[in-house]
Amino acid sequence: MKFTEIPYLRPEIDSFETEFRTLITEFREATTVDTKNAALDKIYAFRGEYDTMYQLANIKYTTNTADDAFQKEVDFYNKVNPTNEKMINEFYQALLDTEFKEELKAKWGSYIFDLARLKMTGFDPSIIEELKAQNNLGSEYIKLKGTAKIQFNGEELNLAGIGKYLVDEDRTVRKNAHEARWKFFESKGEEIDQIYDKLVNLRHAMAKKMGFDNFVKLGYIRLGRSDYDETMVANFRKQIVEHIVPLSRQLRKRQQARLGYEKLYDYDLGYQFTSGNPKPKGSPEEILAKGQKMYKELSPETNDFFNYMLDHELLDVINRPGKADMGYCWELTKYKHPFIFANFNGTSGDIDVLTHEAGHAFQYFSSRDYQITEYRWPSAESAEIHSMSMEYLTYPWMKGFFEDDAEKYFFAHINASLLFMPYGCAIDHFQHIVYQNPEMTPNERAAAWKEMEALYLPDWKYDNNLYLEAGRFWQRQGHLFEDPFYYIDYVLAGMCAIQFWQKNQKDSAQAWGDYLRLCKAGGTKPFLGLVKLAKLNSPFEDGVVKGIANDLKAYLEKIDDTKF
């Protein structure tokens, strides 16, 4: 069924809990392995119906945040999703209590039991009201950003639409575009601070109710992190400071020399070359056609995947007024569809959508036949390996998109990947400080962000932008509001993705085989288990970050970037 043909019907919530509990009882009372499995089938089909309507409502809303009808549907799910989570935890308890555990493990694997145990420690019925409020606040933040109507260059632009001017060749245009964007955030700054303040207090209250000192450990649990903790993450961030930050500073000096500026300001950071940043050639329709050709040539599996996406209308990538300022890959569970949402804006980011988000979608497509729906997606940091690695695995086709600027794109892409890592760590470290000190005021949080900039981003300078100088840059990062602690994932995955790039240079067939095996495994293992399955080195191991930094430094030093 094509996306546009999928009917939306709000679940009958009055009977939802009763029906779900009836199915759980049937599972509990099943007396044979066969009847247990039959009951399991019914539970996952029932969950799939609900999940699909929830997913469809959110997709429809993000395509047009001015749609009051789907705004009401999102509000509805914000209220009832905690009840759904409660029922899933009752199902997990029944799964853990079953007398046929070993027989079910033999068929479905043991990880679902490990995952059930972990998820149960991250939920309690006592926090349902807080979860509802958290959902509403997350939607409030998305809607607030969706209201942006920025008057610039004779156009009315949303936050995605102004993106092309943020990397314009004319420095004055870039500066003015940055100022216009930040004026919007400044006009909403007090509201954003209030939303975040409420979220922090809500999450802290949930953690205290459940017996945690603060939200940090609970946040990790709710993200499904079972084989690493905040201590390991802190050590990883330390290695980024030691080995990647110095390299990023060297790259900023090279950028400054290329541009011929006495100083780099915030509005220069995304602009890499006086000849202009590499831009894809062609209309959005032509770019999609080139993407289809690329995936046909990459492998039989990606050919089937991308044709499926096109045939079923599962890519919404054209920017429109009212469209949410975000990019994502989601699923429609019942139909086993991945769905890609983005906003093309004429920059190289359009190609990143065709690789990054398509990497997510290809992974789901490769593991969508698992009956256990938890196995179709891995945890967040594992999922980002698929997306970020696809960016590197598709390098041989970039000439088709960028033509004579392909080499420039390669340099810019790896350059951007490295420069992102300190920022990703800054966001993560900031969150740890915030949730370890939930009583902080908005101004104290802003001061904490300034400390993060000094540690991880020492080359960031603001040209008399008092709002940013006051420590408010973090307000544009949606993950802080919607997905707490989901950001270090990109840095961890980036370290894994670079290893796929290294593999691909030596033996592309071996690299693709390891990648395909990883995609097919879906969420059947936790992060470090999937890293091992893909024959990658764990980014937590001492020396791995240093080794990758040294390899990338040697690679980048061989490139004469002054010719771009």
What residue spans define the domains of the chain?
3-133
CA distance 64 to 389: 31
Q: Token digits for 326?
A: 């975000």
Q: Are 537 and 497 in contact (CB under 8 A)?
A: no
Burial 9-39 (b: 16+ CB within 10 A, else e): eebeeeebeeebeebbebbbebeeeeebbeb
Residues 6+ apart with CB under 8 A from 508: none
- Could you give the angle at which helices 442-456 and 406-436 cross, rounded to 10 degrees? 140
CA distance 367 to 301: 12
Per DSSP, what are the bridge partners of residue 152? 155
> Which contacts qualify for 43-49: CB closer than 8 Å, 24 or more apart?
43/91, 44/371, 44/372, 44/373, 46/19, 46/20, 47/88, 47/333, 47/373, 48/333, 48/334, 48/373, 49/11, 49/334
Chain mean position to CA 535: 23
Question: Which of 263, 506, 280 lies closest to 400 in space, CA to CA?
Answer: 280
Q: Give the angle subtended at the CA of 534 by the CAs of 120 and 420, to the nearest 5°.
A: 80
Question: What are the backbone dihedrals phi and psi of residue 369, each rounded to the nearest 5 degrees, phi first?
Answer: -90, 0
Q: Are 484 and 473 in contact (CB under 8 A)?
A: no
- Classified as helix, coil or strand, 157 is strand
Per-residue model confidence (pLDDT) at position 96: 96
pTM of the model: 0.90
- Classified as helix, coil or strand, 242 is helix
pLDDT tens, the chain, 564 aa long: 999 999 999 998 889 999 999 999 999 999 999 999 999 999 999 999 999 999 999 999 999 988 899 999 999 998 899 999 999 999 999 999 999 999 999 999 999 999 999 999 999 999 999 999 999 999 899 889 988 999 999 999 999 889 889 999 999 999 999 999 999 999 999 999 999 999 999 999 999 999 999 999 999 999 999 999 999 999 999 999 999 999 999 999 999 999 999 999 999 999 999 998 899 999 999 999 999 999 999 999 999 999 999 999 999 999 888 888 888 999 999 999 999 999 998 889 899 889 999 999 999 999 999 999 999 999 999 999 999 999 999 999 999 999 999 999 999 999 999 999 999 999 999 999 999 999 999 999 999 999 999 999 999 999 999 999 999 999 999 999 999 999 999 999 999 999 999 999 999 999 999 999 999 999 999 999 999 999 999 999 999 999 999 999 999 999 999 999
Token pair 């300022």: residue: 325
Token pair 């093309």: residue: 344
Q: Are 408 and 276 in contact (CB under 8 A)?
A: no
Question: What are the backbone dihedrals phi and psi of residue 342, each rounded to the nearest 5 degrees, phi first?
Answer: -160, 180
- Classified as helix, coil or strand, 189 is helix
CA distance 207 to 130: 10
Per-residue model confidence (pLDDT) at position 222: 94
